[in-house]
Amino acid sequence: MQKRELGRSGLEVSALGLGCMGLSFGLGPAVERAAGIKLIRAAVDRGVTFFDTAEVYGPYVNEELVGEALAPVRDKVVIATKFGFDLESEPSARKLNSRPEHVRAVAEASLKRLKTEVIDLFYQHRVDPDVPIEDVAGAVKDLIAEGKVKHFGLSEAGVQTIRRAHAVQPVTALQSEYSLWWREPEQEILPTLEELGIGFVPFSPLGKGFLTGAISETTTFAEGDFRNVVPRFALEARRANLALVERLDQIAAGKGATKAQIALAWLLAQKPWIVPIPGTTKPHRLEENLGAAAVELTPEDLKAIDAVLAGLAVQGARYPEQLQKMVGR
- State the catalytic residue, choosing from 57, 123, 178, 319: 57
Q: What is the radius of gyration, based on Cα positions, of the chain?
A: 19
| Exposure string over 152-169, b if 16+ CB within 10 A, otherwise e | bbbbbbbeebbeebbebb
The span from the CA of 55 to the CA of 147, in Å, is 20
- Residues 6+ positions from 263 with CB-CB distance below 8 Å: 179, 180, 205, 206, 207, 211, 212, 248, 292
What is the residue type of 17? G
Establish whether 60 is a catalytic residue: no
Q: CA 325, 328, 329: angle at the middle one, nearest 5? A: 80
Other C-beta atoms lying within 10 Å of the C-beta of residue 240: 17
The span from the CA of 106 to the CA of 82, in Å, is 9
Could you report how far apart the first and last alpha carbons of the chain are, in Å? 35
Indicate which residues carry an active-site annotation.
57
